[in-house]
Amino acid sequence: MPFGNTHNVLKLKYASSEEYPDLSQHNNHMAKILTPAIYERLRSKQTPSGFTLDDVIQTGIDNPGHPFIMTVGCVAGDEETYEVFKELLDPIIEDRHGGYKPTDKRKTDLNPDNLKGGDDLDPNYVISSRVRTGRSIRGFCLPPHYSRGERRGVEKMSVEALDSLSGDLKGKYYALKNMTDAEQQQLIDDHFLFDKPVSPLLLASGMARDWPDGRGIWHNDTKTFLVWVNEEDHLRVISMQKGGNMKEVFNRFCTGLTKIETLFKDKGTSFMWNEHLGYVLTCPSNLGTGLRAGVHVKIPNMSKHAKFEEVLKRLRLQKRGTGGVDTAAVGGTFDISNADRLGFSEVKLVQMVVDGVKLLVEMEKKLEKGQSIDDLMPAQK
Amino acid sequence: MPFYSAAIMTKNCHNDYKMKFSDVEEFPDLSLHNNHMAKVLTKDMYKKLRSKSTPSGFTLDDCTQTGVDNPGHPFIMTVGCVAGDEECYEVFKDMFDPIISDRHGGYKPTDKHKTDLNFENLKGGDDLDPAYVLSSRVRTGRSIKGYTLPPHNSRGERRMVEKLSIEALATLDGEFKGKYYPLNGMTDAEQDQLIADHFLFDKPVSPLLLSAGMARDWPDARGIWHNDAKSFLVWVNEEDHLRVISMEKGGNMKEVFRRFCVGLQKIEAVFKKHNHGFMWNEHLGYVLTCPSNLGTGLRGGVHVKLPKLSTHAKFEEILTRLRLQKRGTGGVDTASVGGIFDISNADRLGSSEVQQVQMVVDGVKLMVEMEKKLEKGEAIDGMIPAQK
C-alpha cells in the first residue's frame, strides 16, 4: 500500500517520539486511546501480511473527527490486526462497544424463529424495513490493505457462491466496471448502486484503491436481497422491502446469509469469526454482528418532542436521515436502527428495533391526538 | 546508501505477500486509462518489476497506484506514476525511462541534462510591457538527499525535512530575510494575510495527489516561508520537499529570475554544508516526486492579457512552436478570466533553466507584439514563429 507506511524498518531509525503523530486537534477513539508508550511498543510490529500500526491509525490521524460525532479513527487490514495490535484495539473496542472487555465472549444467533413479532409494524408509519451486515472471507486481507489479486479473488469466490443460490434468492451479479448504462440506471433507481467512496475517512485508509476493479453488486430477481462486493468490507449483505414486516426481512436475511456461508464452507473457506469479536470486519465499530437493522419511519411529532433523544437512548436505538449516516431527516421521516453491534446477538438487536419502533409509533399516534406520552417512557434497556 | 544496510534492502513484507498471486492476477485493469503510465506499462514489464523494491521499501504498485486510480482525461495526459525516493528512478527504470522519453520530447536514457542557474546568461527579460504582462513568476522544486519523497515519507522524515529547511532559510539575509509559518500553529491573522497574498497552499484535494498518499498526516510539518518583501517564497512539504518561488507584479522577468537563482543557490549552499545536498544527477537533473518535473523542475511564467490573440485560430499553434503552454490564472486546470492567461514554458528536462526562461521571455514578447497588431486590426501571419 503506497500510503500505509509499510516500509516499517526504515521508520524505526527515527525515535518513537519523532514519529509519534500530532493528535492535539483530534477527537476520535484512536486519539483518545493511543499514547506514546503504546506507540513505542507496537510500532515495530506487523501482521504476517505486512500491516503496521501506522497503517491501522492513518485514517484517524488524517481525520481529526468532529466535536459531536465520535469516529473510530482506525481500521484493520487483516484478521490478525486485532491480535497483533490488541493493546490499542481492545480499549478502543471497549470504549466504542459499551464496556466490552477483552475476555468477553459473544453470541451469534441467526435463527429468525427466535424473533418475537415484527410482522405488524404499521405501514402507515413504517415505510420500509432493512437489515444489513458485513462479512469478511478468511484468508484474504481486508479492503484497506488487499492487493488487486486478492480483491479479485474475493470477487470470484463471492460470485461463484451467489450464482448457486436458488428459489427466491436466485439473482445476478453486476460488476461495477462493465455495467451497461441501462443496468446502471436501473440500479440507481432501485437505490442499490454504491459509488466510489468520497468520505475522507475511507479514502485515507486506502479503500478506494483500483476503483472500480473487483467491485460489484449482486441482487435477487425480486430485489429484496442484495450483496455488495468489495465496497467497505468484502461483503455487505442487505435484506430489505417496503412496509413494516421486519420479521420477513430478517427471515430472508438469516436464510440467505446462512446459505451463503454454507457455500463458502463447501469451498473450503469461511467467514472471519471468533468467539471474542464475533464477525471480524474492517472497522472496529462493526465488530460482533456487524448488523444494522432499521426502518424508515414517519415520526414528525415524536421527533420534535423534548424527550426524543432520551427515548432513543433508552431503547438503544440511533437515528439517521433517510440518506444514511450523516444525512438529515426529510419530512419527519427518520432512519431508526440499533445502536449496538457487539455484545448482543443478531436476534436481540433486531428485537430491540422491532419493539422500539412499535413503541415509537404508538407514541407518535398519541402525540397526534394531543395526548401525553409520559406513561409510555421506556426503561433503559 | 548511508542509512540502510543490505540486509534491510529488499525486505518488504507486504510485497512478498502479494507475490503469491500471479502477475496476471495482480496486473491492473488499464483499459479505460489514458496516462503515460498506462501507455507504457506492459504485462511483461509488470512481471519483471513487481518483486522489486527500493531500499526504503517503495514498490512498483506504490509508483503506479495514482495512475491506476486516476484513468486520466481524454485531453490532458497525466503522468500516472510518482517516485517515493531517489532510487525509484533506478530500480524501476524499465518503466520510468519510456515514460520520461514520452513526456519529455524523446529524452533518451543516455541523455545528459544541463543545469544553468547563472541568471546573467539570460538576455533581456526586463522590458516586457507591464500594460499587458501583469505579473512574472518562476518556480521550481527541490528534494533533499537522504530522505524519501512525499508519497512515501514517514512523519519523522517529513519533520526532519521541515527542520532542516527552517534552519537553512533562517540563515538568509538581506533581500532574502524572512519568516516561516508552519501550517499547524498559524494564527488566524497570519492565515488571512497569507491568503490575501496568494501564498497559502491548502491541503491537496486533487485525486491525483491523494491517491499517491501526499496528504497523509496533514498539516504536520508543512509550512510556508517568505521574505519580508514577499517576493521570494518557499513551500515546505507540499508536493515536493521544497517548492521555491520568486515572483513580482509587472514584466521584469529578469529580476524575478535573478532573485530566483541567487536565493536558490544560497539555500543549496546551506543544505550542502550540513551534508544534505539536493537530489540531482547528470541524467535526470533535479529529482522530484513527479516525473513531469524532472530536469529543471522549473516553470517560469507570466500572467498576460491576450484577449485577441487567445481567440485567434493560430493561438495553439503559436504556443506549440514557442514551446509554451497556457493555463488559467488559477493555475493548472483552471479557466482563463477576462482574456488573461498564465503562459509558461512547457519543457522541464533536456534544456537548462536559462534556456527555459529565455523561451518564456522571447515568446511572451512576441505574443504581446502580436496582440498589439491584432488590436490595430492588422494581420500577424508574417510573425508566426518557426518551431523552437
With a cut of 80, say whether residue B2 has pLDDT above it. Answer: no
CA-nearest residue of chain A to B160?
A18
CA-nearest residue of chain B to A150?
B21
Residues A124 and A42 both lie in one domain: no
> Total domain count for chain A?
2
The dihedral built from the CA positions of residue A238, A241, A245 and A248, taken in this order, carries a sign that is: negative
Residues A153 and A246 both lie in one domain: yes
CA-nearest residue of chain B to A1?
B62
With a cut of 80, say whether residue B14 has pLDDT above it. Answer: no
pLDDT (tens digit, 9 = 90+) per residue, B362-374? 999 999 999 999 9
Residues A235 and A182 both lie in one domain: yes
Share of chain B above pLDDT 70, in %: 95
Residues A91 and A116 both lie in one domain: no
What is residue B110's predicted lDDT score, i.e. its pLDDT?
95
With respect to residue A380, please indicate whether it lies within any of the assigned structural domains.
no
Helix/strand/coil for A319: strand
End position of a domain, from candidates A71, A97, A123: A97
Prior bond of B291 cis (ω within 30°): no
Q: Does the beta-carbon distance from B17 to A61 stay under 8 Å?
A: no
Contact with chain B for residue A2, Cβ under 8 A: yes
With a cut of 80, say whether residue B73 has pLDDT above it. Answer: no
Looking up residue A85, the CATH number of its domain turns out to be: 1.10.135.10
Q: Is B368 annotated as a binding residue?
A: no
With respect to residue A150, please indicate whether it lies within any of the assigned structural domains.
yes
What is residue B185's predicted lDDT score, i.e. its pLDDT?
86
What is residue A5's predicted lDDT score, i.e. its pLDDT?
44
Q: Is A325 annotated as a binding residue?
A: yes
List the grid coordinates of A141.
486481507
What is residue A178's predicted lDDT score, i.e. its pLDDT?
87
End position of a domain, from candidates A43, A62, A97: A97
Residues A187 and A311 both lie in one domain: yes
Q: What is the mean pLDDT of residues A251-260?
A: 95
pLDDT (tens digit, 9 = 90+) per residue, A279-318? 999 999 999 999 999 999 999 999 999 999 999 999 999 9
What is residue A323's predicted lDDT score, i.e. its pLDDT?
64
Q: Which residues in chain A touch residue B55, judged by CB atoms under 8 angstroms apart?
A: 10
Top residue of A10, A20, A43 to mutate, by most chain B CBs within 10 Å, is A10
With respect to residue A376, please indicate whether it lies within any of the assigned structural domains.
no
Residues A125 and A51 both lie in one domain: no
Question: Any idea what the Cα angle at residue B241 is, between residues B236 and B50, rounded to 5°?
Answer: 145
With respect to residue A362, please indicate whether it lies within any of the assigned structural domains.
yes
Count Cβ–Cβ pairs < 8 Å, chain A vs chain B: 123
Q: Does the beta-carbon distance from B154 to A2 stay under 8 Å?
A: no
What is residue B9's predicted lDDT score, i.e. its pLDDT?
32
CA distances to A115, A169, A240, A312, B17 from A243, in Å: 18, 20, 9, 21, 47
Q: Say yes or no: ipTM exceeds 0.90.
A: no
**How many CA atoms within 13 Å lie on the side-chain side of B227?**
20
Query: Phi and psi (nearest 5°) for B232?
Result: -145, 125
Share of chain A above pLDDT 90, in %: 81
pLDDT (tens digit, 9 = 90+) per residue, A164-212? 999 999 999 999 998 898 998 888 888 788 888 888 888 899 999 999 9
Q: How far apart are CA B81 and CA B76, in angstroms?
A: 15
With respect to residue A379, please indicate whether it lies within any of the assigned structural domains.
no
Q: Which residues in chain B touch residue A10, judged by CB atoms under 8 angstroms apart?
A: 3-4, 8, 55-57, 148, 154
pLDDT (tens digit, 9 = 90+) per residue, A324-356? 555 677 789 999 999 999 989 999 999 999 999
pTM for this prediction: 0.89
8-state DSSP, B106:
T
CA-nearest residue of chain A to B33?
A210
Q: Which amino acid is at B166?
A: I
Mean of all residue pLDDT scores within chain A: 92
What is residue B13's predicted lDDT score, i.e. its pLDDT?
65
Looking up residue A184, the CATH number of its domain turns out to be: 3.30.590.10
pLDDT (tens digit, 9 = 90+) per residue, B122-181? 999 999 999 999 999 999 999 999 999 999 999 999 999 999 999 999 999 999 999 999
With respect to residue A374, please indicate whether it lies within any of the assigned structural domains.
no
User: Who has greater pLDDT, B330 or B6?
Assistant: B330
Contact with chain B for residue A7, Cβ under 8 A: yes
With respect to residue A131, please indicate whether it lies within any of the assigned structural domains.
yes
Burial bucket for residue B39 (CB in 10 Å: 0-12, 13-18, 19+): middle
Residues A357 and A326 both lie in one domain: yes
Provide the shortest C-alpha distance from residue B51 to chain A (in Å). 14
Of A64-68, A88-92, A102-106, A269-273, least confident by mean pLDDT is A64-68
Residues A92 and A138 both lie in one domain: no
Closest CA to B254 of B372, B360, B343: B360
Residues A121 and A60 both lie in one domain: no
Place of cell 499553434: B317
Partners of B245 in the β-ladder: B139, B233
Share of chain A above pLDDT 70, in %: 96
Residues A116 and A83 both lie in one domain: no
Q: Which residues in chain B touch residue A15, judged by CB atoms under 8 angstroms apart?
A: 156
With respect to residue A381, please indicate whether it lies within any of the assigned structural domains.
no
Residues A36 and A160 both lie in one domain: no
Q: Does the beta-carbon distance from B220 to A21 stay under 8 Å?
A: yes
Q: Is A128 annotated as a binding residue?
A: yes
End position of a domain, from candidates A35, A67, A97: A97
With a cut of 60, say whether residue B233 has pLDDT above it. Answer: yes
What is residue A337's predicted lDDT score, i.e. its pLDDT?
96
With a cut of 80, say whether residue B306 has pLDDT above it. Answer: yes
Residues A28 and A152 both lie in one domain: no
What is residue A67's predicted lDDT score, i.e. its pLDDT?
63
Provide the shortest C-alpha distance from residue A119 to chain B (in Å). 45
Burial bucket for residue B332 (CB in 10 Å: 0-12, 13-18, 19+): exposed
Question: Any idea what the Cα angle at residue B371 is, between residues B367 and B374, rounded to 5°?
Answer: 135
* Range(s) of the domain holding residue A65: 5-97
8-state DSSP, B149:
-
Helix/strand/coil for B127: coil
Q: What is the mean pLDDT of residues A2-29?
A: 83
